[in-house]
Amino acid sequence: MGWLWAVFTVIAAAGQVARNAMQRELTATLGTVGATHVRFLFGLPFSILFLVLVVMALRMPIPAITGTVFTWALVASIAQIAATALLLAAMRDRSFVVATAYAKTEPVQTAVFGLVFLGDAVTLPLAAAILIATVGVLLVSWPRTDTGQSFTWAPAALGMASGAMFAIAAIGFRGAIRALDTESFVMAATVALVLGLFLQTALLTLYLLVADRKTLGAIFKAWRPSMAAGFAGAFASQMWFMAFALETAAKVRTLALIEILFAQLISRNLFKQKLASREAVGIGLVVIGVVVLLNT
């Protein structure tokens, strides 16, 4: 059980990169908000299916959604909507792997928010792991001279703001999971996932009905790629939530920095973006940080 959270996190990171790649492709036709909505709208049915399977397997009642659970989930849901939109906006201006790296400043913020709002302790080894890995992703995110890119604050600000929102979302969902009255961490994670996706789907659907019905129609027309992105998002979130149920958000999100390795594979094979030597050093630091983390 001690290492189970790490297994869930690695699987979640791989699933999240796949979902980000699918959403990036959808941004061209659906726009930022439309591509953001895809992960929630098409992820919700899969999360409900996951819950049905969990109830059948565990033969346990679904825990009540209290005001505390709802509040944590609502804050987290809004933060995750904003985080996804900001990340996709950053990807329009920078490469896939670089935009992902900007957002990976999240663990530092997660550690702070977790300490303040949940009382999750930040030990010296954990702080060192976070620092090493974060320096690594910043090296990866620095502009490459061989592509003629120059540093601009807009994509950097968007990426780091995305990281802050992802940090708040992680803390909020962990808070919701901890507030659920159930003995099973799988049940708690799955109920929190359904609640979060329901809130996110309702909020973004309402927004699009009022502000952009054309995009909402386009989302349903692109149901095939959207369904794949929805499944990838729901599956990744299920893994994240089970990790959050077992370990602090700071440790989970620090280990999640291995996502940059998966992002690099996607970047090279799908988007034909090459790896610079400085980026290789940065990725090496991420790996070192992860090793330190797993030995804390």
Residue-level pLDDT at 101 = 61
Residues 246, 2 contacting (CB under 8 angstroms): no
Rg (CA), the chain: 18
Q: How many CB atoms lie within 10 A of CB 183?
A: 9
Integer Cα distance of 60 and 54 in angstroms: 8
Integer Cα distance of 181 and 228 in angstroms: 32
Output the CA–CA distances (angstroms, integers) from residue 34 to 68, 118, 125, in the order listed.
Answer: 30, 33, 41
Integer Cα distance of 126 and 194 in angstroms: 31
Residue-level pLDDT at 22 = 77
Residue-level pLDDT at 267 = 60
Would you state the structure tokens that stand for residue 34, as one six-digit string?
A: 């439309």
CA 284 distance to own-chain centroid: 22
Which of 69, 41, 49, 58 has its CA nearest to residue 204?
41
pLDDT tens for the chain, residues 1 to 296: 678 999 999 999 888 877 777 777 777 788 878 888 888 999 999 999 999 999 999 999 999 999 999 999 999 999 988 887 787 777 665 555 556 666 667 788 888 888 888 888 888 888 888 888 878 877 766 655 555 555 566 666 787 788 889 899 999 999 999 999 999 999 999 999 999 999 999 999 999 999 888 988 888 888 888 888 889 889 999 999 999 999 998 889 888 877 777 666 666 555 455 556 777 787 778 778 877 887 76
Residue-level pLDDT at 104 = 67
The crossing angle, in degrees rounded to 10, of helices 277-294 and 124-141 is 160
Q: pTM of the entire structure?
A: 0.81
